[in-house]
Amino acid sequence: MNHVESQPLSEVRKTLRPKWYRIPIDPARLREFSKRSDRRGFFQALVHMGLWGLTGLLSYYCFSKELWVGFVMVLFLHGTIGSHFSHAHHELCHGTVFRTKWLNLFFLKIFCLFGWLNFHIYKMSHSYHHRFTCFSEGDREVVLPREPSLRIFFVLQLLSINFFDKGGLIPTIKLFIKIAFNRFDTPFNSWTEDLYENQLEERRKAVNWARLVLIFHGVILVVSFSMGEPILAVLLSGHVFIGGWHHYFLNETQHDGLRSNVSDFRKCTRTMTLNPVSEFLYWHMNWHLEHHMFAGVPCYNLKKLHQVISDDMPKPRTLYGAWHEMRETWRKQQAEPEYEFDTPVPVQQTKHTAYSEDPLTSSIGDLAPKSLA
């Protein structure tokens, strides 16, 4: 069971050294899977952005023609697609989507502007998450146990507009305003202040980005209303708070209910199978165990990686199976707080060994800021 420690993160980086088990793989195959492709990167990013743009145009058309049933349906789809901008942002933060480095940063900024995302904070937080996955001292991005909530009011917001819960309209705007004023004491990510201990330059970047996002959406709001088209503000700035159900039900499966403080990604991370459309919108993060074990592999190569190492992997869950497992685990934890689901895994094919001497094997891409690299 995970309990957040108060040890400074600068000390955690020195003292916490998990010896991660990594599945043996031919180095030549790993190099092949780790190759980045501008062509595949453009396909992933532009098709996602194109679907969002298309549903936005259709929403505007239905609204202008007063086709209200069509408007509600297409707007819901627009929000569902836009809610996955956070997964685009995740992959682009790793810097593994495009071979050309500046393209990763360019598309990262585009998705973050329209998705209300601060990639500077995420890079700091997610670097710890990858190095210390589900270790309570070092990974405070994922604090276990965590409820896989199906509360009625929360689910209703996921199926309409999320005003009040995590990632909702009001908390997100409050969060960006706080950070813009150099305040990092946030209710949903309470360790953000700890991340920036002795990191003044990185803190400044996060503050400036928050200010830019607020200005960007402020301009959209002013221009939309001055044109007499407030619907544009909904489609461009408010989409991410609409129809978040798909994002939530996929994203929560990554670690919930699994083992903490164990140096085997197979025990603390889930892989699951999805239909092709969901996998695309999720930026292939259903292969999440593969992503954690070999984080330098681009998302579009993770399925091929899985096929090569599957003999040493747990059987992938289905979405239903993952949620059933999470809910059952949470129910047991109410009576038995120390309980965690222990994923059955094949007998290890090699001695439990860290691969820190191999930069490609232990790579997390270009995720970590220079101060943490």
pLDDT of residue 280: 99
Whole-prediction pTM value? 0.94
pLDDT of residue 350: 53
| Chain segment 80-124, per-residue pLDDT in tens | 999 999 999 999 999 999 999 999 999 999 999 999 999 999 999
At residue 164 the predicted structure's pLDDT band, cuts being 50, 70 and 90, is very high
What span, in angstroms and rounded, lies between the C-alpha atoms of 150 and 133? 25
pLDDT of residue 2: 47
pLDDT of residue 359: 78
- Which residues lie below 8 Å from residue 297, measured CB to CB, with a gap of 6+? 30, 33, 34, 96, 290, 291, 305
Could you tell me the residue ranges of all domains in the chain?
A: 9-335
Which residue intervals of the chain are DSSP H helices?
Answer: 9-15, 27-33, 38-64, 68-83, 85-94, 101-115, 119-131, 152-158, 169-180, 192-195, 200-226, 231-236, 245-251, 265-268, 276-281, 288-293, 302-309, 319-335
Whose structure tokens read 């992997």? Answer: 313
What span, in angstroms and rounded, lies between the C-alpha atoms of 182 and 256? 31
pLDDT of residue 184: 86
pLDDT of residue 355: 46
Residue 336 corresponds to which tokens in the numbers above? 């038995």
pLDDT of residue 187: 53
Contact, 60 vs 231, CB < 8 A?
Answer: yes
pLDDT of residue 189: 57
pLDDT of residue 348: 65
H helices then E strands: how many in the chain?
18, 0
Asked if pLDDT for residue 352 goes beyond 90, the answer is no
Mean pLDDT of the chain: 93
Asked if pLDDT for residue 354 goes beyond 50, the answer is no
What span, in angstroms and rounded, lies between the C-alpha atoms of 325 and 339? 13
